[in-house]
Structure 1
Amino acid sequence: QAMEESFYMSNICPQNPNLNRGDWNDLEEKSRQWAKKYGAVYIACGPIYDTKRPKRIGNNKVAVPNAFYKVILINDKKNPQAMGFIFPNSAGHKPLKKYVVTVDSIEKRTKIDFFPALPDEVENRIEAELVQELP
């Protein structure tokens, strides 16, 4: 049922095909590696619209995002780490570290609080950190 629901129009977000098959896919692969390495990771992702009137395509007039975000939490008790990524909705082939941003910057842009269940001192610290090297 979940697989069926993933194809509903309400769950569709047009993504540049080169982004989808390229850099975005690279991060999806890396996320799977982190899940295997750390046991579990928490991931949230979605579209970013920089205008109230985005470009629309197709018969159903689906809105095309300007960019996509992905936030990832590795909730290792000794060393929790949060990473943010923003990908422009365009073709490109760059190393993943070129897309790294703070989770705080994505929260500001999307108006979403991603890890509110974490203790405030941990949440505030890891969401403000810009990851220098991917784990």
Structure 2
Amino acid sequence: MSYMRSFMDDFEVSIPEISSVEIEKIEDNGFDISEYYLDYLNYSVLHNPLRKFPYFTACNIHGDLFKKINRDELFSGKGDKWKKDERIPKETQLGQELYGADKSDFDKGHLTKREDVQWATNRNKAIEAAESTFYFTNAMPQVDRLNRGVWRRIEDYILHHQTVENNIKINVFTGPVFFEDDPDFVTKVKDNIIQIPYVFWKVVYYKMNGALHRTGFITSQKHLLEKRRIVKPSVRAEAKPESDLFMTFKDAETYQVRVEFIEKTSGLSFQKANENFLGETPEELILSGVDVRSEDSLSIEKVSINITL
């Protein structure tokens, strides 16, 4: 079963909308955007055939039906099996030709987290859902420090310490920001220049006190990419001014933001809902598991209030 708008019973949550300008760009290049909305088990993906990465993934998480499954239980214990989705042209996706290329010092970062879809009434179905996250249409090139750092810990916090422990349902959207000045990967892939996105966002919808709420998170890997010489420094004149917002961010750290901030930078439109985070500027989340590193950092209680019943 793919992403369900009516998953939270009392509220429908629609997928984000891309702009009419973006749709026109896709159509001008001979693509039908509706053919790139791909359904998987417990999640769906809207893929960008021009950039060859997903616009976003849309995931339902059912805390009450979550199944704990070790990664080595997947694919009959034979290891991860990443593959391209045969429903869309292979040339519109980036697979091992990118991740196995020279200087590709980054992880295949799941957008929809493997564990997020590990829920079903039947354990075998939950395993099947987990295996369905290993499509390249659900992956982004992410530096390990980002993929395995605070970004991952906030994902774990949302899943395990809120959704599963409280047996609730939530909807999660995750994706990159496509800037015009995204830096070029230093290695050509099949003679093509590949721009590597460096900003990622996550929006969580949940119920609290009988109302629909949402909260947003954002992170960046620009300087890590440049420091490791994975990308060339960007020199494009047509850069979006919004991209300058991230020049002073600490790489691989996660920030809580209002969803309007994500809309402004990504060009996507999200369904309206209440927000408890009212700050006008991003606030850094400094977590170690579910503990705070320092008293000066955002407290875990402040994080949890935005994603708890």
Cα distance in structure 1, aligned partners of 2:277 and 2:134 = 35
Match of 1:134 in 2: 303
CA-to-partner distance for each residue in 1:9-42, whole Å, 9 max, x for gaps? 3333111110111111111111112212260121
**Does the 8 A contact of 1:73 with 1:83 survive in 2?**
yes
CA-to-partner distance for each residue in 1:88-119, whole Å, 9 max, x for gaps? 1256565x5xx011011101211222225xxx
Cα distance in structure 2, aligned partners of 1:129 and 1:38 = 27
Secondary structure at the aligned position of 1:45 is classed as strand
Match of 2:207 in 1: 75
**Does the 8 A contact of 1:34 with 1:41 survive in 2?**
no
Gaps of 5+ in 1: 117-122
**Does the 8 A contact of 1:41 with 1:73 survive in 2?**
yes
Higher helix share: 1
Superposition map of 1:108-127 within 5 A: 108-115=264-271, 123=273, 125-126=274-275
CA-to-partner distance for each residue in 1:43-101, whole Å, 9 max, x for gaps? 1111113225542356365531121001112222435432111101256565x5xx011
Cα distance in structure 1, aligned partners of 2:144 and 2:208 = 34
**Does the 8 A contact of 1:45 with 1:71 survive in 2?**
yes
Compute the RMSD of aligned alpha carbons: 3.1
Superposition map of 1:75-94 within 5 A: 75-78=207-210, 80-89=212-221, 92=251, 94=253
Identity %: 24
Superposition map of 1:1-135 within 5 A: 3=130, 6-32=133-159, 33-36=161-164, 37=166, 39-52=168-181, 54-56=183-185, 59=189, 62-78=194-210, 80-89=212-221, 92=251, 94=253, 96=254, 99-115=255-271, 123=273, 125-126=274-275, 129-130=278-279, 133-135=302-304
Structure 2 letter corresponding to 1:106: I
Q: TM-score, normalised by structure 1?
A: 0.71
Cα distance in structure 1, aligned partners of 2:130 and 2:188 = 23
Query: How many equivalent pairs are there?
Result: 125
Cα distance in structure 2, aligned partners of 1:87 and 1:115 = 21
Cα distance in structure 2, aligned partners of 1:109 and 1:27 = 21
Q: TM-score, normalised by structure 2?
A: 0.35
For residue 4 of structure 1, report the CA deviation from its aligned partner: 5.2
**Does the 8 A contact of 1:46 with 1:69 survive in 2?**
yes
1:62–1:11 distance in 2 versus 1, CA, 3 Å: farther
Structure 2 letter corresponding to 1:113: S
Gaps of 5+ in 2: 1-127, 225-250, 284-297, 305-309
Cα distance in structure 1, aligned partners of 2:134 and 2:188 = 16
Secondary structure at the aligned position of 2:208 is classed as coil
Match of 2:21 in 1: none
Structure ranking higher on relative contact order (CA contacts 8 Å, 6+ apart): 1
Cα distance in structure 2, aligned partners of 1:63 and 1:75 = 37
